[in-house]
Amino acid sequence: MLDQKRIRDFGVRIGDMRTGERNAISDVAEVTVGHVTLADGPTQTGVTAILPHGGNLFRDKVMAAGHVINGFGKSMGLMQIQEMGTIETPILLTNTLCIGTASDALIRHMLGDNPDIGHTTGTVNPVVCECNDGYLNDIRSNAIEADHVLEAIASASDMFLEGAVGAGRGMSCYKLKGGIGTASRVFELDGAGHTLGALVLSNMGQKRDLTVAGNRIGPLVAARDKDDSLPDVGSIVVVLATDVPLSERQLGRIARRAVVGIGRTGSFIGNGSGELVLAFSTGNRVAHYDEWAQQPMMRLREGDLDLLFRAAVETTEEAILNSMITAESVTGRNGHSRRSLLEFEELL
């Protein structure tokens, strides 16, 4: 998107399913993404906002589920998602030590749109996910401010940059440059077109394990760019979105398949790496105020979930590779640097 060269532009095809028009999470109608990027010397960080739809998310929630693959993380809002099966705010991505600032700003944003919160109705569940960008970014500086969060939400669009932008600015993936990546797949159910898209914040893996479309290029990269003897202490956040009407249980099943897509790029999910998946459906909405005690809900026949399982795997794998190939090389804190996968394009 936005004139960036992505992994398919290098002849790399992931999976067999058709991509959406943008090959992005925003191919799911109404889903938008916004970034604020901070890139100044030792400050290499940012914030990314994912909006499941353009309306009032508190009053018109989306069905959702979360899955923790490896729980070395500090994300917020997951407990209520698991219990209630809905998301009621934008989803924020940022660095580990700025989740408090992001959460506070998100709460204030929701209070501004909903004067009933905390007075005549319950409170709100802010969703903030994180990865540790401390290798490239001076994470102790807590550079993210409330205005950055609000700007990311306000700037959300169906067209957005990938790579070293927003929350992905300071992230590393397979000890190369990581960041924000996205992909989508389209398919038919009952004669109607549907979409599943993924967006990742990639920050995991060891260089020697990097695999592109089944080709393990990691050892060749490591031979040219130093081997990586340090353990995998990164993380990845995967956000899956679809317009297929699903229950929260079905969304949980789909979320669990993202680990296959992560593994296909070479990761073995290290002890110190936090892997988290959020999945939501815009096809089932939950009204905060509803006069009916019994609420109708559609869900997909279980046997047809295989289509979405495959789409979740393909989009996760491709989104990770897009996050790397679109990211430029970055030098940050203490002169630490991460090279772009683009510098090794002949290996693709």
pLDDT band (50, 70, 90) for residue 66: very high
The answer, as to whether pTM is greater than 0.95, is yes
Between 232 and 14, the higher pLDDT residue: 14
Between 56 and 291, the higher pLDDT residue: 56
- CA-CA-CA-CA torsion for 104, 73, 82, 98, nearest 10 degrees? 10
pLDDT band (50, 70, 90) for residue 297: confident
Mean pLDDT of the 253-258 span: 98
The contacts of residue 130 (CB under 8 Å, 6+ apart) are 73, 74, 75, 93, 94, 95, 96, 98, 99, 167, 235, 237
pLDDT band (50, 70, 90) for residue 296: confident
What span, in angstroms and rounded, lies between the C-alpha atoms of 1 and 326? 10
Percent of the chain with pLDDT over 90: 93
Does residue 167 come out as left (phi exceeding 0), alpha (psi in the -120 to 50 range) or beta? alpha
Condensed to tens digits (0 to 9), the pLDDT of residues 97-134 reads 999 999 999 999 999 999 999 999 999 999 999 999 99
Confirm whether 184 is a catalytic residue.
no
pLDDT of residue 225: 85
pLDDT band (50, 70, 90) for residue 1: confident
Confirm whether 275 is a catalytic residue.
yes
The catalytically annotated residue of 26, 75, 273, 281 is 273
Condensed to tens digits (0 to 9), the pLDDT of residues 127-136 reads 999 999 999 9
User: In this model, does residue 143 exceed pLDDT 90?
Assistant: yes
The catalytically annotated residue of 75, 235, 267, 281 is 235
The contacts of residue 297 (CB under 8 Å, 6+ apart) are 245, 247, 284
pLDDT of residue 227: 65
Condensed to tens digits (0 to 9), the pLDDT of residues 267-278 reads 999 998 999 999
Count of C-beta atoms within a 10 Å radius of residue 266:
20
pLDDT of residue 226: 78
Mean pLDDT of the 319-324 span: 98
User: In this model, does residue 266 exceed pLDDT 70?
Assistant: yes
The catalytically annotated residue of 88, 275, 314, 317 is 275
- Residue 24 burial (CB < 10 Å; 0-12/13-18/19+)? buried
Condensed to tens digits (0 to 9), the pLDDT of residues 176-225 reads 999 999 999 999 999 999 999 999 999 999 999 999 999 999 999 999 98
Structure tokens at 144: 């993210």
The closest of 245, 316, 254, 239 to 282, measured between CA atoms, is 245
- Residue 55 burial (CB < 10 Å; 0-12/13-18/19+)? exposed
Condensed to tens digits (0 to 9), the pLDDT of residues 234-246 reads 899 999 999 999 9
According to DSSP, the residues that pair with 218 across neighbouring strands are: none
User: In this model, does residue 47 exceed pLDDT 70?
Assistant: yes
Confirm whether 328 is a catalytic residue.
no
- Residue 269 burial (CB < 10 Å; 0-12/13-18/19+)? middle
What span, in angstroms and rounded, lies between the C-alpha atoms of 348 and 47? 30
